[in-house]
Structure 1
């Protein structure tokens, strides 16, 4: 068996001899109305109905001064098969929209690093709940500091990656009560330097894309450290997506020196950390990425990737 990881880390992200599924970019997906372009795309999620939700920043760009919301709709809802734009919403609600997740009942969760808040919406975009105080960062039960992602659970509870400022992961009850949290800024076991994305498997294991530390850390449902994955194959993980067959798609967004990524790509791995397949590279052509920022998968195992600099979403069909 050929080792593709770094010998200093255990378990390694290893190459597997098992047959690998292959992914091919779907050219012409999605189909935007004539003259329509997306802003920097930061998040993507898939509903139970096969709708692909793309979160972008319109004309805002990648940062904002003050608390002025993006004026145009920032949530685009596409048909997963045809790529047709079905509807859009979210105008005037977010300052710097960052992460998007879909939970039970197809409720939509969105993090806003501009306001340091987390929002829960009904499938039609009706605001149901707001967590955090607008524009007031903090590290307690009711404040966040530029939160990045939400992992909603079947019982209504949810994890929040918080994020750029606090480097913690917190679990909340369905009613929004803080249950527990873990993590501080650092490079040690259970520490983070930008916990950027979350995934939770069927057994309750929590996977954290520890972006600047170039690793994925794995915890039990109570936040106790289990292991980590770190290797050149996964690079700098920006996003995570669970796939059918107990596999994980890990999105490498690159180190981005001076905002120019030095590598981009997707690694498919088993939940034991063994590499199955890798595809994609830096670039602006179909099937390439330009600061890839988030990843999602549908029930069939098709993969969707959004770019910040590329300002687009791409579909990769499993074949």
Structure 2
């Protein structure tokens, strides 16, 4: 009986793969090279009812002039927000990434420097920007991504170590995935992993990132389940991840100048159409999307340096209609090199980190009413 069910599942899965290839082989976006784009983009057959639970009013980011970014930071590669509302920063201290940092095999060339001596993970007060505490000294070599899961655990990626780390909120190590200083492309190795996101089930989604251009799913204990690579979807530098209310994972597909969303667990196998069919969100002004975050089903993204005619800025995106509904920027000065973005779990604030200026911006998230910005009137007992 078990074998029969397994065979039935395999037949359904193979049929779905064939449908993918049949449906998507005719998709063509004239502004992109068809060999690299939309290989597994789903047709426009998703109904609004399918996503009704996540659809709400978008919030408008406005620069908070009273908040001050901590000073004397290295390259701020990642930002995340704790369940309490406090910001967590992941920065590179005295390290930078240049053409000599890795060889042609993605092996780190500066191990002789030893780990970064200063605290690389900093908890920052959400009201004024003061550093509350820090940890992670003498541990990391070249930080990249940071994610705080709903339980307050902190997930980090180090592209020099080719590893992913889980820490408690207080900085106690819980799990390490990948092999130290060993780049690879099998299920037990990463090659410059960029980002982590944790589903409500506890499954761990990892963007494996600069070399392998794939997504890997692990169970909550860190056991690998499967990799989603070019057999399912073509990615070029999956740089950041965010999870929508319907548990779809959206990917900042940086070098393909787009956002890709899909159900990485394939839990929609029995749905018609299956909910895990990937779809892309494009916009002529996207350029290279570096960071994405989401709140109540709306995606907030920042791009980086791309072409002369592409402005560096933030985007608010309706993933249901797959369009940009707002552009936004700081008011006091322009973005220079945004790298990561995070949204407070209560929808009160949004943070953008930059490499180069090595700073973090805070934006208040407000409701727009009759073309007037109105502060959100949601108060929390911690005032954050």
TM-score by length of 2: 0.71
Check if 1:161 corresponds to 2:202: no
Counting only pairs closer than 5 Å after superposition, residues 95-244 of structure 1 correspond to structure 2 as 95-184=141-230, 190-222=233-265, 224-244=276-296
Report the equivalent of 1:267. 315
Kindly state the Cα deviation for residue 202 of structure 1 after the two structures are TM-superposed: 2.0
Kindly state the Cα deviation for residue 58 of structure 1 after the two structures are TM-superposed: 0.9
Identify the structure with the greater helix proportion.
2
Identify the structure with the greater strand proportion.
1
Distance (whole Å) between structure 2 residues aligned to residue 99 and residue 20 of structure 1: 25
Distance (whole Å) between structure 1 residues aligned to residue 91 and residue 143 of structure 2: 7
Instruction: Say which SS state the counterpart of residue 105 (structure 1) adopts.
Output: coil
Report the equivalent of 2:9. none
* Paired positions, count: 295
Kindly state the Cα deviation for residue 271 of structure 1 after the two structures are TM-superposed: 2.1
Structure 1 gaps of 5+ residues are 1-5, 12-17
Check if 1:304 corresponds to 2:339: no
Structure 1 residue runs of 4 or more that deviate by more than 6 Å after TM superposition: none
Instruction: Say which SS state the counterpart of residue 242 (structure 1) adopts.
Output: strand
Kindly state the Cα deviation for residue 276 of structure 1 after the two structures are TM-superposed: 1.7
Q: Deviations over 1:162-197 (max 9, x none)?
A: 00011000110011111111123xxx9711110101
Distance (whole Å) between structure 1 residues aligned to residue 124 and residue 222 of structure 2: 30
- Picking from 29, 32, 36, the partner of 2:67 is 29
Contact 2:187 2:226 in 1 (8 A): no
- Picking from 361, 373, 384, the partner of 1:314 is 361
Contact 1:116 1:134 in 2 (8 A): yes
Contact 1:293 1:307 in 2 (8 A): yes
Report the equivalent of 1:40. 75
Structure 2 gaps of 5+ residues are 1-28, 33-42, 45-55, 102-108, 267-275, 367-384
Contact 1:256 1:291 in 2 (8 A): no
Distance (whole Å) between structure 1 residues aligned to residue 318 and residue 361 of structure 2: 23
Distance (whole Å) between structure 1 residues aligned to residue 349 and residue 68 of structure 2: 14
Check if 1:85 corresponds to 2:131: yes
Contact 1:148 1:163 in 2 (8 A): yes
Report the equivalent of 1:276. 325
Q: Deviations over 1:135-170 (max 9, x none)?
A: 101122221000000001222211000000110001
